[in-house]
Amino acid sequence: MKIAIKTLGCKLNQYETQLMIEDLTKEGHEIVDFEDMANFYIINSCAVTAKASKESRLLAKSAAKRGRVVYTGCDSYLEEKLKDRFILAGNSYKHKIIKLIKNPINDISDETKTYPLERILSQYRGKSRAFVKIQEGCNNHCTYCIISFLRGRERDKEKDKVLSEIESLAKAGFSEIVLTGTNIGSYRDLKGLLRDIDALEGDFRVRISSIEPMYVDKEFIDIVASGRFANHLHIPLQSGSNKILKLMGRNYKREHYEKIVNYCHKKGVFVGCDIIVGFFGETDELFEETYWFVKRLPLSYAHVFSYSKRPNTPAYNLKLDLPKGPVVRQRNRKLRELFEQKKKNSIKQMIGKEVEFIIETTQVNTQKGRFYKAITSQYFPVLVDRYDTGLKIGILKEFDGRFGYVEWAG
């Protein structure tokens, strides 16, 4: 049968999609583009925000006009009425995708809400980078976040399985391995795991997808700044106000965040972050605390989100004022504009310097001609004039406001 798959949301979802693709192709099913006609359309949904849930459902409704829809991922748990239109499959049912295709039934009543951790991915379809899931679940219960409810409690993949999976993907030719999970900072002896990964043979680099501030200290940063690790960390901030951080249930203060970001900068590690605007109790004064806090920090980029109330989260019933929509949109826009400039400045400061990059298969047309898109160790998008595999070195020659242009070394 012909199967089309669309993945929304986090890198963990992307990883689990690859596992489903591996299972389906082994059974002889043909994976086709999502825009093509197919027997089944699999939506690996996201529920991190109300907007993400809406986008997932609209995509599923559109696909249902062309074929049967399997609706999996985090949003499959949130609205039981969806089973009247789609085949609902909870996250832990992803590993039973073959059985589901043969005998379509609704199944979201699982307890662990996770893809089996013992599973190791042996291939990665159509990508220059591969993801490796090292853990699942989150015990932090931030008051705004629904993911701990949907993904369950923390569980770690055994270290030897992580190392084996990385070795297998590196031998298959992947030049960048991205470590992912729901809350990877909670992995037992994460620093020890990173040191063991650094000791593996092969010409590849490792990127850490996202890690919470409370797990980051100088020793961790020193490990990332050396060896085979990308010079980049994504460290969610969420707010620059200690009062809002406390309401969010975040287990750190802005002073700690400032300390680790400045140390990253000192060690040559570029940092991106997440910020939520419009949370309960966020006055103009508290928003300005966030704005001026991040403005002075050496941050390279930010993903800025507007808060959306989610059922089954502790914040849902908070008895505090919620900023009005127009105010939230204005705050969101102000931060986005700030970080657009910060990102440009971060890339400009690398002009004339040597950068390590891997090339993706995506081609981009510009006024200068046709180029291949590449990603530097610092997580900057750049363009090169020809395709090649492996880790490459070049000089960042110029920046057009969107992309940097890299000239091959040698």
pTM of the model: 0.88
Nearest Cα neighbor of 229 from 391, 14, 20 is 391
CB neighbours of residue 354 within 10 Å: 11
From the number of C-beta atoms within 10 Å of its C-beta (0-12, 13-18, 19+), residue 172 rates as: exposed
Cβ atoms of residues 166 and 119 within 8 Å = no
Q: Which domains does the chain have, with CATH numbers?
A: 2-102 (3.40.50.12160), 129-348 (3.80.30.20), 354-408 (no CATH)
Tokens standing for 363? 């081609």
Amino acid 90 reads G
Q: Is 7 left (phi over 0), alpha (psi -120 to 50) or beta?
A: beta
Give the integer Cα–Cα distance in Å for 323 and 9.
26
B/e letters for 11-47, b = 16+ CB within 10 Å, e = fewer, are bbbbbbbbbbbbbbeeeebebeebeeebebbbbbbbb
The residues, any chain, with a CB within 8 Å of residue 64's CB and separated by 6 or more, are: 41, 85, 86
For residue 172, what are the β-bridge partners?
A: none
How many Å apart are CA 293 and CA 350, to the nearest integer?
Answer: 24
Interhelix angle for 325-348 vs 284-296, to 10°? Answer: 10
Q: Long-range contact list for 402-406, CB < 8 A, 24+ apart?
A: 403/364, 403/366, 403/371, 403/373, 404/347, 404/350, 404/351, 404/376, 404/380, 405/368, 405/371, 406/355, 406/357, 406/374, 406/376, 406/382
CA dihedral of 290, 207, 133, 11, whole degrees rounded to 10: 50
Cα gap 119→130, rounded to integer Å: 15
Q: What is the pLDDT of residue 111?
A: 46
User: Tens of pLDDT along the chain (410 residues)?
Assistant: 999 999 998 888 888 888 888 889 989 999 999 999 999 999 999 988 888 999 999 999 999 999 899 998 888 877 667 777 888 887 877 888 888 888 776 555 454 455 556 666 656 555 678 899 999 999 999 999 988 888 889 999 999 999 999 999 999 889 999 999 999 999 999 999 999 999 999 999 999 999 999 999 999 999 999 989 999 999 999 999 999 999 999 999 999 999 999 999 999 999 999 999 999 999 999 999 999 999 999 999 999 999 998 888 999 989 899 999 999 999 999 999 999 999 999 999 999 999 999 998 788 888 888 999 999 999 999 999 999 888 999 999 999 888 899 999 86
The tokens of 41 are what? 């359309």
* Alpha-helical runs (H) found in 27-85: 50-63
Tokens of 44: 């690996």
Strand partners, 381: 375
145 phi, psi to nearest 5 deg: -100, 130
Spatial CA neighbour of 42 closest among 27, 32, 53, 28: 32
Q: Which pairing describes strands 176-180 and 205-208: parallel, antiparallel, or unpaired?
A: parallel
What is the Cα–Cα distance from 23 to 222, expressed in whole angstroms? 39
Q: Whole-angstrom Cα distance, residue 13 to residue 46?
A: 8
The predicted pLDDT at position 151 comes to: 84
